[in-house]
Structure 1
Amino acid sequence: MRQIVSKEPWWAAPPKPGQDESELEWGWLVTYSEGEPRFEFVKERPSEQEIRQRKSCRTTPSE
């Protein structure tokens, strides 16, 4: 049986140097439990608050 294990805000492609997060295409990285874990990127934009509060998929500050 397919069950969602986690669902996290994630970018479709990593940002280019100096690119602002607001310019990125966002969606959800969904992990399913089907024996071996399976991942799927869902093109449904998270809210700005969900993007700000994400735990993973962080950008590093520009130097």
Structure 2
Amino acid sequence: MRQIISKEPWWAEPPRPGQDEFELEWGWLVHYSEGEPRFEFVRVRPTDDEIRHRKSCRITPTSE
């Protein structure tokens, strides 16, 4: 039986240098348990608050 193990806000493509994270296309990275673990990107935008408080998929500031 397919079950969700985790679900996290994730970007569809990595940001370009200097791009604001709220300009990105967001969705959900869903981790399922089905025999071997499986991931799927679901193109449903999380709320701004969910994006702000995500645990992963962080933009690392660059020093200029």
Structure 1 alignment gaps of length 5 or more: none
State the distance in 1 between where 2:51 and 2:22 align: 10
Q: Deviations over 1:15-53 (max 9, x none)?
A: 011111011000000000011100000000000000000
TM-score normalized with structure 2 length: 0.95
Q: Is residue 2:39 matched to residue 1:44?
A: no
1:19 aligns with 2:30: no
Separation in 2 of the partners of 1:55 and 1:10?
A: 10
- The ranges of structure 1 where at least 4 consecutive aligned residues each deviate by more than 4 angstroms after the TM superposition are none
Counterpart secondary structure, 1:10: strand
Question: What's the TM-score, normalizing by structure 1?
Answer: 0.97
Match of 2:31 in 1: 31
CA distance in 1, matches of 2:50, 2:35: 29
Q: Among the aligned pairs, what percent are the same residue?
A: 78
Q: 1:56: Cα distance to partner?
A: 0.2
What do you get for the CA RMSD once the two structures are aligned? 0.6
Q: Which runs of 5+ in 2 are unaligned?
A: none
- Counterparts of 1:45 and 1:20 in 2: how far apart (Å)? 16
